[in-house]
Structure 1
Amino acid sequence: MAENIARVFADAIATDPTRPLLTWYDDATGERTELSGATLANWVAKTANLVVDELALSPGDSAGVLLPPHWQTAAVLLGCWSAGLTVADTPGDVDVLFAAAGRVAEADAWPAGDRYALALAPFAAPLREVPAGFADYVVEVRTHGDHFTPYPQGGPDDAALLARATARATELGIAPGDRVLVDADRHPDPLDWLLAPLTATATVVLCGNLDPARVESRTTSEKVTHTLA
């Protein structure tokens, strides 16, 4: 069993980096963003370089993530894991915090030296107004390099997370090569919408504010083979 999340991600895109790996829909806004493996890998590398080069973090340091299911959340999580960081989703002391703009009020429960806010807007648009004490993630991350060499040993939580993800993929019925439509509201845990599909070399159609009336047509247009809705 693989014990390195960065290696699992690399293996998932190695066969064809140009194929759609993660497609994001927001049925409340009409947004559709499709990322190939290569494009997501670019965002992941930039995020890893941000935490390593700009913040001087190293394996075993921690990141707080106050983000909903979203393609930018995938970039943040995979970037942190590539840099060997542990990722926390419950309040506590962390070295860096990534928060959705709508959740920055929760930041006081997350003591962190560096804080980044995300608008999670279409086309990765920056924040209209950056909250006090935060930097804008999409503005800052774009200045960093497109390539990052992950630490060979991975992070301290990688093996346990991947074991859980492999088991979860089996529980959810995700098979190798599946294209999985995921209702983000019903499956907010990244174990379900990100890691379990990656361990199964599946691709994801992640749907926020999913309109049930659109599931059938989307299943056809996106060539979905398995649905978590």
Structure 2
Amino acid sequence: MGNTVPSLFAAVVGKDPSLPFLTFYDDATGERTELSGATLANWVAKTANLLVDGCGLGPGDVAAVRLPAHWQTAAILLGAWTAGLSVTYGQPTGAGADVEFASLSAAETGAPGPADRYVLGLAPMGLPMRGPAPAGFADYVTEVRQFGDHYPGPVGGAGTEDLVERARKLAYPGGRLLIDAVAHPDPVEWLVGPLAAGASIVLSVNSDPAKLAARAESEQATSVL
């Protein structure tokens, strides 16, 4: 198994791209979104192409990701690493980065940032924002859909070896993991850790603790974290 995050993702998805890889629940909205490995890989490729062809970025550049745990956040993180970018996650502003991805609430703070800035409404079904994007931002969903479903490469990921090492120290089991993002907000815990274990993910945000046991059973989760 590889030692970079993109190589881990490719190994897991390559086993059977049609199988569910990331199932997302938001108990605040009632959303359930299920992505196969192939579907998430398409979003990852589109994001990498957006960064490389749309923004002219590549190895040595930095993406600021100001987003909560979400399936679209997974696509952006994996896309940035695939394109060879470094990632700062959860920092208060995108200053000093070459591209920024922010939630609507983060984008509305008015903090300074790079020339290329994308906002995410995080709407169900991966829909674009209903209203206009904040000044200085473009709607990620609208923009990323213009790019190809396959990333021609070269696939990056150098510099993510430390993330893989941290993830492997978590010693997650394989199988299908139900992960409560309230308890595990760090992407190393809810995304890279399962990849390092060769596991698929059921990601629960704004979790209602009373629903987790039934969710684990319905999703055939083999472990709950």
Query: Deviation per CA, 1:55-96, whole angstroms, max 9, x where unpaired?
Result: 010111000000000000000000000000000122440000
1:20 matches 2:37: no
**1:66 alignment partner in structure 2:** 66
Contact kept, 8 Å, 1:60 with 1:155, in 2: the verdict is: no
**CA RMSD between the two structures:** 1.4
**2:51 alignment partner in structure 1:** 51
Q: Letter of the aligned partner of 1:175 in structure 2?
A: P
Determine the C-alpha separation between the residues in 2 that align with 1:180 and 1:113: 38
Query: Deviation per CA, 1:91-118, whole angstroms, max 9, x where unpaired?
Result: 4400000000111134525x31100000
| Per-residue deviation, 1:40 | 0.2
**2:192 alignment partner in structure 1:** 195
Q: Letter of the aligned partner of 1:192 in structure 2?
A: E
Contact kept, 8 Å, 1:63 with 1:88, in 2: the verdict is: yes
| Per-residue deviation, 1:166 | 1.1
Unaligned runs of 5+ in 1: none
Determine the C-alpha separation between the residues in 2 that align with 1:49 and 1:72: 15
**1:36 alignment partner in structure 2:** 36
Normalised to the residue count of structure 1, the TM-score between the two structures is 0.92
Determine the C-alpha separation between the residues in 2 that align with 1:125 and 1:145: 18
Q: CA separation of 1:142/1:226 partners in 2, compared to 1, >3 Å: closer, same or farther?
A: same
Q: Letter of the aligned partner of 1:215 in structure 2?
A: L
**1:160 alignment partner in structure 2:** 162
Match of 1:116 among 115, 118, 122: 118
Normalised to the residue count of structure 2, the TM-score between the two structures is 0.94
Q: CA separation of 1:74/1:107 partners in 2, compared to 1, >3 Å: closer, same or farther?
A: farther
Match of 1:215 among 206, 212, 216: 212
1:145 matches 2:142: no
Contact kept, 8 Å, 1:2 with 1:159, in 2: the verdict is: no
Q: Letter of the aligned partner of 2:145 in structure 1?
A: R
**Once superposed, which parts of structure 1, at least 4 consecutive aligned residues long, lie more than 6 Å away?**
none
| Per-residue deviation, 1:3 | 2.5
Query: Deviation per CA, 1:172-200, whole angstroms, max 9, x where unpaired?
Result: xx212x21111111111000000000011
Determine the C-alpha separation between the residues in 1 that align with 2:74 and 2:86: 15
Contact kept, 8 Å, 2:108 with 2:134, in 1: the verdict is: no
Determine the C-alpha separation between the residues in 2 that align with 1:107 and 1:93: 15
Residues 61-100 of structure 1 mapped to structure 2, 5 A cutoff: 61-89=61-89, 90=91, 91=93, 92-100=95-103
Unaligned runs of 5+ in 2: none
| Per-residue deviation, 1:155 | 3.4
Q: What secondary structure, in the 3-state scheme, does the structure 2 residue paired with 1:108 have?
A: coil
Query: Deviation per CA, 1:13-65, whole angstroms, max 9, x where unpaired?
Result: 11111111000001111110000000000000000000000101011100000
Q: Letter of the aligned partner of 1:112 in structure 2?
A: P
Determine the C-alpha separation between the residues in 2 that align with 1:227 and 1:155: 28
Determine the C-alpha separation between the residues in 2 that align with 1:196 and 1:128: 34
| Per-residue deviation, 1:222 | 0.2
